[in-house]
Structure 1
Amino acid sequence: MEGVLDFDTIDVELNEDLLKKQSRRCRDEFLNSLSLDDEDEDFIIPLFENVEDDEAPVEEEPLDDELEKEENVDEAVDEEANDSEAQFKYSTHDPNVKWNRMKPQEGERYESPQQLKLCLTNHAISKGYHIRFNKCDSVRLHCVCASDLEKFGCPYYVKASWMSNEKSLQIKKMYPHHTCVKNFNNGKLMRLTWLARQFLTKLIRTPNLKAKEIQEKVQRKFHTKISWVRSYRARCRAMSIIEGKLGDHHARVWDYGGELLRSNPYSTIKICVEDNNDGITIFKMMYICFKSIKEGWKICCRRVVRIDEYFLKGQCKGQLLTDIGRDPNNQVFPIDWVVVDIENKFNWKWFLQMLEVDLGMDAGRGM
């Protein structure tokens, strides 16, 4: 029990400079960079298009006069190409382009194989073609059409590798045209992370979006059927991207305490941690009691307090100790609460001592 008394109890305080820096705008870089427009949300992949760039062009036999003109033009073009070849630079892929507008081109440069793989996946899903990655590692990427080779013989392929003069992955060879039939049933290409990112904006606006609704939207938007389990996992993946994991939230417990004091001045916020010999700080408990709740209990509530505890389930386990009172309407009036790692005599004693100080009980005298 004596070892528990070595906790570092810290009162969270905010100085004036920190108060001035506070803003209503979300400070999460991901949420700030997330586009909230309706253009991508309402987009539905068209089943039929008048012009398809990815279809193989039909070659026509040129006339004799046209052949002579083309030969003269080719000679002039070759001379100009030799002069400007050294100055030519390939384009760089823009990851901020809408997913349904991404189109890989020969010579285009990418930051990593994952970025190129995402671009090829987006383009294949938006156009309704199946692709397969024969090789995708840290050195090279090779992508071909996943349709029946004997039936369609689709010549589509993409080959990319790292450039020798810079740290960029470049498409060295590709044949971008498909000769196979379109098939929008691209469930294998739609990974959980890909599906999750398609519904980030929707989940930010409507956090109560059900997995069944996501399943229906995928069928309407992408013309693909997915199972309820997969839509549920995609929803969980999207919520983890938006909110972050619970471990990341607990790592920012100091910011949480500071934000509580900023929005609720003169409240009682105490955070207890334990420093290990390896330099890692372990969270032990956190006590919260708002100023308005303290004053409200003193003015209008009955002098009756009930204590209770609840188990915290999930990634970060623990227990929640609470104090509850009764208001004049005989309704529940929460007073304060503390998150602890385990329920024991020391934690209860510390919790009740904090309650006594905040409510001015004076050991029960005068209540």
Structure 2
Amino acid sequence: MDRHEDCEEDPDFIDSDRDFESEQDDIEYDRNFPEFNFDQDMRNPQFEVGQILSSTAEFREAVRMYDALNGSNVKFKANDERRVQGICKLGCQWRIWASRMDASERMQVKSYTSEHTCSRDQFNRHLKKDLHTDISRNVAWKMRRYAKEILVGSLHEQFRRSYAAEVLRTNVGSMIIIALQEQIFKEIYVCLNYCKAGFRDGCRMVVGVNGCHLRGSFRGIMLIAVGIDTNDCIYPVAYVVVEKENTASWRWFLTSLSEDISIGNGMG
């Protein structure tokens, strides 16, 4: 097999006709060497001299995974079916050499310098490719739409439930008013009993109001009434969700609030 044919699709391949340096002499085989367990060790590849891998392809994949997980940038300087040399980016001393052990496809690490003298690179080219995070714009758009469907679906499910009945069951004495128009939700007023009691018993008799736009799936406007407690902190009293912020919606909110918390003559 032509070594160029084996590597022609590898973007990290740098052709080199030089043989391995003398420090990569064959290791004696009269001892038991550690073996790389692909299913377990690929979660966090670690290398050592003498380590045995099942094939050249497995060795390349292990180096790439190590590269992605450690934020380094490794190139294969010598790269064919018999031997592979990996070096880190220019100026870094990290490098690894592996070659065929025998007539089988097994590869053995012959030399390994494990220390990096470079800084971690957050723009690792292997991370997107090998961890499958490099997706097209079309795929990203589809996944965004799918995520929104999941979120909106859960909101629809909540709206189908009897929210008012659940609040009244768990917060006895609360006030909830739901306004419908031809059986379509229009407005909701909520004042929890504990908030109502806390305002009456421990807050100054001053109410502040404000409104904001809702950016969720159902949009609308939230109007809220707050008080000031004994620690001079904002205390929520009641809120409404309405379709639009206008005179009619504010009048409905404040009228419901005044009746609910018994707002009387404010001359005092």
Q: TM-score range by the shorter chain?
A: 0.3 to 0.5
TM-score, with structure 2 as normaliser? 0.46
Structure having the higher helix fraction is 1
Identify the structure with bigger relative contact order (alpha carbons < 8 Å, sequence gap 6+).
1
Which structure's CA Rg is the greater one? 2
